Structure 1
Amino acid sequence: MQKDDGGLMNYLYYLLVAVPVAVYLELTHASPLLIFVFSSLAIIPLAGLMGKSTEELAIVAGPRVGGLLNATFGNATELIITIFALKEGLFDVVKASIAGSILGNILLVLGFAAFLGGIKNKTLQFNYQIANLNTSLLFLVVVALIIPAMFYHAGDLDSAEAQTLSLITAILLITIYVTSLYFSFKSHRHLFHTSHNVLEKAEWNKYVSLAVLAGSVVLVALMSEFLVGSLEHMVQQVGVSEIFIGFILIPIIGNAAEHSTAVLMAIKNRMDLALEIAVGSSTQIALMITPLLVFISYLFGKPMHLIFHQLELTGIALAVLVVNFAIRDGETNYLEGLILLFTYVILGTAFYFV
């Protein structure tokens, strides 16, 4: 999160009152729906605090360490939520959350950013090198997810073989992610210079930043446990599927503050930063968070494979294709933003009926 979105965060901080409310509801064994709602509301400002403290540490530590910090904590909230879902064996929720995060960032967030920013600025320009790298990496993700599913659904792989292939795929994905970080921040960093890379002064010292980051992580973990624990009962009470919850709600809850920042940056004609937040976040989820979840699943004794639902795979493939056409020329506008938004609405509606 950037410094010029402080006004937005001031409003989000009011949601921190949901933290003690969620704790009270959990301790009194209240309605699962209420626990789910208030723990979800509590996670939104906590995620914002995590982002704020990470950025403050990045300014103090310098660009290299800062890049690593942002890469590590950029999607930490959603990682924590999905780890608790993984612990409970809710693999469908985890995979839907992965798919929903990828699609939410490149369709919903980038769509809103291009639409609202394009209305104000007519044409939004950005570094096409960043766009090309991220879309190339996302195409690799499409291949990596479709191949195991295609062979599994065709009957050419049994469950054990699918699990082995998924583990190999996870290792390769995280390897390419680490390599892409080296490419962007070290060997070819001159290609990725953008106008927003200016010297900033930290508002918090490193001790305050570390304390806020540590406290936010602990509280996000607690709220995530409440959220996941109430999920199954809440689903029965409301009558929606776990896949829809994972696809729509969890990604929005975990990244609401960051999503708002991307839109604000686009409105201010800082599309490089908006693109970095939206598409870069999708790349990070696909190449870092997804493999990590596979590895962590082994620690719980419940290995998760990467065989996704056909609708999830179709959605990811089509979304990457649409986004590639929208950003490959280094500029975008409100019409392309609207196309991305409508694509997301169509996919979200389909998931509602799954």
Structure 2
Amino acid sequence: MNQKLFFSGLILMFALSAIGHYAHWDMIVQFVISAIAIIFVAGFLGKATESVAHYAGQRLGGFLNATFGNAAELIIAIFLVKEGLFDMVKASLTGAIIGNLLLVLGLSILLGGLKYKEQRFNNRLAEHNATLMVMAVIGLFVPAVFIVSEKFTFDKDQFLSLAVAGILIISYVLWLVFSMVTHKDMLADVEMAADHGEEPAWSKRNSILFLVLATVMVAFVSEWLVHTLDTFAERFGLSELFIGAFVIAIVGNAAEHSAAVVLAMKNKIGAAVEIAIGSSLQIALFVAPVLIIISTLFGNTMDIVFTPIELTAIGVSVFIAKSVSRDGNTNWYEGVLLLMVYVILGIAFYLV
């Protein structure tokens, strides 16, 4: 899309979303406008992080893209936690994880594979990502089994949830130290090091400024979107599970969609994998635990117990993504497989 046209659309949709919210337009109209607005804002966020990545390097750039790309999901989830909509929060976290592992990674591998017969990235990084994905499943699966089967008291439920949350956060922070400090050379990717002679969209100063501005815009539009969700779900007879796992997740993943797919089509599959899988790991090992701690600050602790449906969706997504990415080679058909699993889960969630 032409840059001038994109920014015109961004300003228009942001303004309409604000007017719709404060003028109390029909909730469905507000939802549609806010959803479109957040896609534009997330795209702006993606452009800013990609520009910052040019100055910070592709490895750190991929991490920044995943982090700021998750800003939409995190901010939406914080407002949901504040409203006490814990089931929708967990559904949105589930959707973010499976959306990145299946939809974002699948599209990146498919479209990159259609242009390049085979794409390669660091297989050691792939192995570590696979192990971390299993760790994430363990962190979500164990509390659910013990709290439900042993019928823990409310106090034990809260204690285990907070304890697991703390352990997952520590694990994620140590992974960042391992991958970006002590073993960054071992996990470097040759494709990620190449800049292909590209020029950044903006100067370093403007890139950082736009990154902050985009994050603030995401915060506002996210709050306006959350305000409409109850009415939207009731009007169309959709479950909180489907709204959280697919509607919120797809809208919130817009930044990762654009950046990861573009990088894959430039034969930078390592950076695309870093964004897609790295973002899922960040959601499971950092964002979800942080939300549990934030809920405690609001005075009503959210437990870490996900439903069997959510755990199944996350487990299936991790299994297929691990199988596809573990050898460090990708082709377009593997992207198709990831997308097919996403469609299967989407149909199942819709029928709930």
What is aligned with 2:273?
275
Moved more, 199-208 or 280-289: 199-208
Q: Cα deviation per residue 1:241-292 (whole Å; 9 max; x = unaligned)?
A: 1211110111211121321222232233321121111111111111111111
Structure 2 unpaired stretches of 5+: none
Q: Percent identity?
A: 45
**Number of residue pairs matched?**
348
Q: Is the 8 A contact 2:88 2:240 kept in 1?
A: yes
What is aligned with 2:347?
349
- The SS at the match of 2:228 is helix
Cα distance between partner residues in 2 of 1:9 and 1:259: 18
Query: What residue identity is the alignment partner of 1:246?
Result: G
What is aligned with 1:228?
226
Q: Is the 8 A contact 1:15 1:41 kept in 2?
A: no
**Structure 1 350/58 Cα, relative in aligned 2: closer, same or farther at 3 Å?**
same
Cα distance between partner residues in 2 of 1:71 and 1:335: 24
Structure 1 unpaired stretches of 5+: 1-6
The correspondence for 2:115, drawn from 120, 138, 143, is 120
Cα distance between partner residues in 2 of 1:8 and 1:266: 21
Moved more, 98-107 or 70-79: 70-79
Q: Cα deviation per residue 1:230-250 (whole Å; 9 max; x = unaligned)?
A: 111121112111211110111
Q: Is the 8 A contact 1:35 1:227 kept in 2?
A: yes
Is 2:40 the partner of 1:41? no
Q: How does 1:88-167 map to 2 (within 5 A)?
A: 88-167=83-162
Q: Cα deviation per residue 1:160-212 (whole Å; 9 max; x = unaligned)?
A: 21221111111111111111111111111111211222467654344433432
Q: Cα deviation per residue 1:118-169 (whole Å; 9 max; x = unaligned)?
A: 2332222221112111111110011111111111221342332122111111
Cα distance between partner residues in 2 of 1:67 and 1:324: 19
What is aligned with 2:324?
326
Cα distance between partner residues in 2 of 1:9 and 1:256: 17
TM-score, normalised on structure 1? Answer: 0.91
**Structure 1 304/24 Cα, relative in aligned 2: closer, same or farther at 3 Å?**
same
1:41 positional shift: 1.1
Moved more, 344-353 or 332-341: 332-341
**Structure 1 186/296 Cα, relative in aligned 2: closer, same or farther at 3 Å?**
same
Is 2:20 the partner of 1:20? no
